[in-house]
Amino acid sequence: MHGAALAFLETARQVLAWSGLIFFMILEHWLPFAERAEPAWRHYLRNLALAGINVAGLAVVWRGLLLAAAAWAERSGWGLLNLLGLDWPWRLAATVFAFDALSWAMHVLYHQVPAMWRLHQVHHTDLDFDVSTASRFHFGEILLSTAVQTAGALLLGAPPEGIVLFQMLLLLQAQVQHSNLVLPEGLDRIVTRLLVTPNMHRIHHSRAVRETNSNYATILSLWDRLGGTFRRRPQAGIAIGLTQYPRREELDWMSLLALPFRSLRTAPPGESG
Rg value, the chain, Cα? 18
Please state the domain count of the chain. Answer: 1
Cross-strand pairs, 220 = 195
What is the domain extent for residue 7?
A: 2-272
In single-letter form, the type of residue at position 23 comes to F
DSSP labels for 105-173?
HHHHHHHH-HHHHHHHHHHHT-SS-SGGGGG---HHHHHHHHHHHHHHHHHHT--HHHHHHHHHHHHHH
Neighbours of 262 (CB within 10 A): 9
Phi, psi of 266 (to 5 degrees): -155, 160
pLDDT by residue, tens only, the chain of 273 residues:
467 778 888 888 889 999 999 999 999 999 999 999 899 999 999 999 999 888 877 776 665 688 889 999 988 888 999 999 888 899 999 999 999 999 999 999 999 999 999 999 999 999 999 999 999 999 999 999 999 999 999 999 999 999 999 999 999 999 999 999 999 999 999 999 999 999 999 999 999 999 999 999 999 999 999 999 999 999 999 999 999 998 888 888 889 999 999 988 877 887 655
- Is 0.85 topped by the overall pTM? yes
